[in-house]
Amino acid sequence: MSAAFSLKKTSSQCSARLGRLTTTHGDITTPVFMPVGTQGTVKTISNDELVEAGSEIILGNSYHLYLRPGADLIAAAGGLHRFIGWKKPMLTDSGGFQVFSLTTLRRISADGVEFQSHIDGSKHFLTPEKSMEIQRAIGADIIMCFDECAPYPCTYEHAQKAMDTSVRWAQRCKDDFARRETASPTDQLLFGIIQGSVYADLRRESAQRTVAVDFPGYAIGGLSVGESKDEMKAMLEWTVPLMPADKPRYLMGVGMPEDIWEAVERGIDMFDCVLPTRNGRNGQVFTLRGKVTVRNAEYIRDFGPLDPDCDCPVCTTYSRAYLNHLCRAQELLVLRLLSLHNIYFMIKLMKIIRKSIELDNFADAKKEFYATYFSKTQR
């Protein structure tokens, strides 16, 4: 399993790096952006469209899939890949983030978390072992340790306790996963998650202890939850150097195009975020020249393409005026068209970033991105 990741190149200017992550369902070139398929679908987008856009891996959310349709049904379907008809790599989170952000009446014990479903109020008890059981039934290529996600802002004591719990649970996840692997081997990769909120020493402790458990890849959790960009950057600078260079590094829940540049610069390889589809559904798209809120009145008679620099099927077919009309007429088609463009944008952004590492001009490329992307706001 440890040979799953190979480092191809590291920037001479910063910690940015090119890599390749190998899974049963195919290879992933890093730095990579993973579209989020919360409930077994990247909202509004078909599998064919995702593949055509260049998506190499998508995410599923264990919490959502566990509650509906249920891990047993997914297992009966032959796993999530077959259930949703997706043939490329997939990653599932552990359920931890949703348990701590979506549910009510949580009771955290050393053993696990009792919570009420956000759907029907039913009671559930999730433990590291149960999360492993669910994620094996779902069968993604990469699965994540069950962790306690502290909110933001959060006291030092709370963050410390959640971090400590997460490390203990990481060991239990690894042990349980190993037992199950011995009984019935799969090619799943289990990643550890580093917590610690915005406290440098907690991040350091979490990184050291999680790395000591030993996983084929490590994630940074608990960022992009409301902290400032400076705090996020500081935590990355503290944490990433403590993560093994020969393992993939995944920054969970990020993100914004500018955050991706900052994180890649600091050595992150993997990203996931609902922004491309969520913003798309809200009428906003990403372009290299900044964000465009196509539902705004200024685009009513704008017959130009959505993003003049983009050759995605949306930008080569439809005008801003048409997309604006669809927004105003509340036509469902526009939700998928804007989401699809945003997926293309994120994939293209990662290509630009990878190319700059390849050519070893990351710093210039980042500067150029910032100058263009924020030009509208500065004007």
Nearest-approach distance from CB 142 to its own copies, in angstroms:
22
User: Which CB sits closer to its own copies, 67 or 353?
Assistant: 67
Nearest-approach distance from CB 353 to its own copies, in angstroms:
29
Nearest-approach distance from CB 284 to its own copies, in angstroms:
17
- Classify burial at 157, counting beta carbons within 10 Å of its beta carbon; exposed 0-12, middle 13-18, buried 19 or more: exposed
User: Which CB sits closer to its own copies, 16 or 45?
Assistant: 45
300 near its own copies (CB under 8 A):
yes
Write the CA distances from 345 to 37, 54, 338, 348, 354, integer angstroms.
Answer: 17, 10, 10, 5, 14
Find, among 336, 225, 345, the residue nearest to 292 by Cα. Answer: 345
Nearest-approach distance from CB 272 to its own copies, in angstroms:
18
Write the CA distances from 334 to 285, 320, 331, integer angstroms.
Answer: 11, 11, 6
User: Which CB sits closer to its own copies, 249 or 336?
Assistant: 336
- 11, 15, 23, 44: which one contacts its own copies (CB under 8 A)? 44
The residues that bridge with 116 in the sheet, in sequence order, are 104, 123
Nearest-approach distance from CB 44 to its own copies, in angstroms:
5
Find, among 153, 147, 140, 156, the residue nearest to 58 by Cα. Answer: 140
Find, among 105, 124, 121, the residue nearest to 63 by Cα. Answer: 124
The residues, any chain, with a CB within 8 Å of residue 323's CB and separated by 6 or more, are: 294, 299, 306, 314, 334, 337, 338
Here's the x/- map for its own copies, 313-352, by CB under 8 A: it reads as x---xxx-xx-xxx-xx-xxx-xxx---------------
User: Which CB sits closer to its own copies, 268 or 323?
Assistant: 323
Nearest-approach distance from CB 225 to its own copies, in angstroms:
25
Number of residues that bind its own copies (CB under 8 A): 39
Helix, strand, coil % (nearest 5) of the chain? 45, 20, 35
Nearest-approach distance from CB 30 to its own copies, in angstroms:
27
SS3 58: strand
SS3 130: helix
Helices (H), the chain: 47-53, 62-67, 71-76, 80-84, 96-102, 128-138, 156-183, 200-213, 229-239, 257-265, 275-281, 320-328, 332-358, 362-373, 375-378
Find, among 187, 266, 188, 258, the residue nearest to 220 by Cα. Answer: 266
Residue list 65-94, contact with its own copies (CB under 8 A): 68-69, 73, 76-77, 83-85
Active-site annotation holder among 141, 147, 269, 272: 272
User: Which CB sits closer to its own copies, 68 or 367?
Assistant: 68
Residue list 277-296, contact with its own copies (CB under 8 A): 281
Active-site annotation holder among 48, 93, 111, 269: 93
User: Which CB sits closer to its own copies, 106 or 301?
Assistant: 301
- 2, 12, 46, 155: which one contacts its own copies (CB under 8 A)? 46
Active site residue 141: no
Active site residue 120: no
User: Which CB sits closer to its own copies, 288 or 326?
Assistant: 326
Q: How far apart are the C-alpha atoms of 68 and 94, rounded to whole Å?
A: 15
Q: Write out the catalytic residue numbers.
A: 93, 272
User: Interface with its own copies by CB under 8 A: which residues?
Assistant: 39-41, 43-48, 64, 68-69, 73, 76-77, 83-85, 281, 300-301, 303, 313, 317-319, 321-322, 324-326, 328-329, 331-333, 335-337
